[in-house]
Structure 1
Amino acid sequence: MPHIDYFFAIISPFTYLAGTRLEEIAGRHGATVAYKPFDLIGLSALTGGVPLKDRPPARQEYRLQELRRGGLKAGMPINLRPAHFPTNMAPASYAIIAAQKAGGGDLAALTHGLLRACWAEEKDIAEDAVIRDCLGAAGFDPGLADSGLLLGAEVYASNLEEAVRRGVFGSPFYITDGDERFWGHDRLDDLDAHLSGKL
């Protein structure tokens, strides 16, 4: 059975634009998926990335055009300048980690619900109430927002270490068996082709 390690930052707009296509691809190929949320700011510092606020104006302007076009192509609403961005990624990431361990709900729905809350619904995904609502809507116990804090903090830190060790440098990032790496929501077709044996 194929397996995909899914490294992502919960505040990444490009991860939002991926929607649930990863899960659709995994379903077609019978692949399992391990969700590995990480600290994008920490990753950038360790892999040579430049924080968004420090990028030259041309790069910032191009990013906004890419996001606008990406939303149109995906048929997804997106606010290019959300009210609560950037925000603390850790609490929502901890909740995803706790939910993955607990099981019983829809992890894809939880992850996408949190991303959508930031990029389409003008909600602060660092707020406990928002995280609890997303957990409940995805079929998880909202109490995981509290009970999963210790586990979440430990795994969140180790996910960052693993990401750096395995060559991750952005979000979303997909790694398959055999260490095939795919960076970006616009590489999901390539991931699909790889799992089909075409790439």
Structure 2
Amino acid sequence: MAQIDYFFATLSPYCYLADQRLEAVAAKHGATINYKPFDLITAFGRTGGTPPKDRHVSRIEYRAQELPRQAKKLGLPFNLKPAHWPTNGAPSAYAFIAAQNAGGGDLGALAHAIFRAVWAEEKDIAQDDVIRACLSEAGFDPKLADSGLLEGAETYSRNLEEAVERGVFGAPFFIVDDQRFWGQDRIEDVDAYLSGKL
């Protein structure tokens, strides 16, 4: 059975744009998804990237056009300047890891609920009540927002180290076998690779 290692950041607009298309591709091919939330901003500093606020104006302007354009193409509601961005993405990542360890819900739905809270619903994913609502929506116990914080922090840190070691430099980032795919617009390529076409 194929495995897709999915490196994502709970604050990334491009992860939000991925929607649940990766889950659909995995289901189509009987593949499993190994979700790996990680600290994208720290990864930028270690892999030659630049945080959005520090980029050249031409890149900032392009991002301002490209994100709404892609959201419209995908039929997703989107706010380019959400009320609570940037915020601390760690609490939502820790809760995701707790849910991953506990089981019983839909991890793809949880990831999308967190992304959607930021980019479409004007919610602060650093707040416990927002995280609990996302957990509940995806079929998990909302109390997971308050559990496994140390383990969550350790896993989050390990995911960052693994990301850097394996050549991950952005999000969303997918690794299948030795093949790396970067960006929400490469999900179709993951599908083609799993189909044996790439």
CA shift digits 1:40-76 (9 cap, x unpaired):
1110111011111111111101001110111111000
Aligned AA for 1:185?
Q
Identity of aligned residues (%): 67
Aligned AA for 1:70?
Q
Paired position in structure 2 for 1:40: 40
Within a 5 Å distance, the mapping from 1:165-180 to structure 2 comes to 165-177=165-177, 179-180=178-179
CA shift digits 1:149-182 (9 cap, x unpaired):
11100100000000000000000000012x1000
TM-score, length-scaled by structure 2: 0.99
Q: Which runs of 5+ in 1 are unaligned?
A: none
Inter-partner Cα distance in structure 2 for 1:54 and 1:167? 22
Q: Which runs of 5+ in 2 are unaligned?
A: none
TM-score, length-scaled by structure 1: 0.98
Q: 1:25, CA displacement in angstroms?
A: 0.0
Paired position in structure 2 for 1:182: 181
Q: 1:148, CA displacement in angstroms?
A: 2.0
Q: 1:102, CA displacement in angstroms?
A: 0.5
Inter-partner Cα distance in structure 1 for 2:138 and 2:53? 33
Within a 5 Å distance, the mapping from 1:99-138 to structure 2 comes to 99-138=99-138
Paired position in structure 1 for 2:158: 158
Inter-partner Cα distance in structure 2 for 1:67 and 1:86? 16
CA shift digits 1:56-113 (9 cap, x unpaired):
1111010011101111110001000001011101000001111111100011111100
Paired position in structure 2 for 1:94: 94
Aligned length: 198
Inter-partner Cα distance in structure 2 for 1:118 and 1:8? 14
CA shift digits 1:3-31 (9 cap, x unpaired):
00000111000000000000000000000
Paired position in structure 1 for 2:7: 7
Q: CA RMSD in A?
A: 0.6
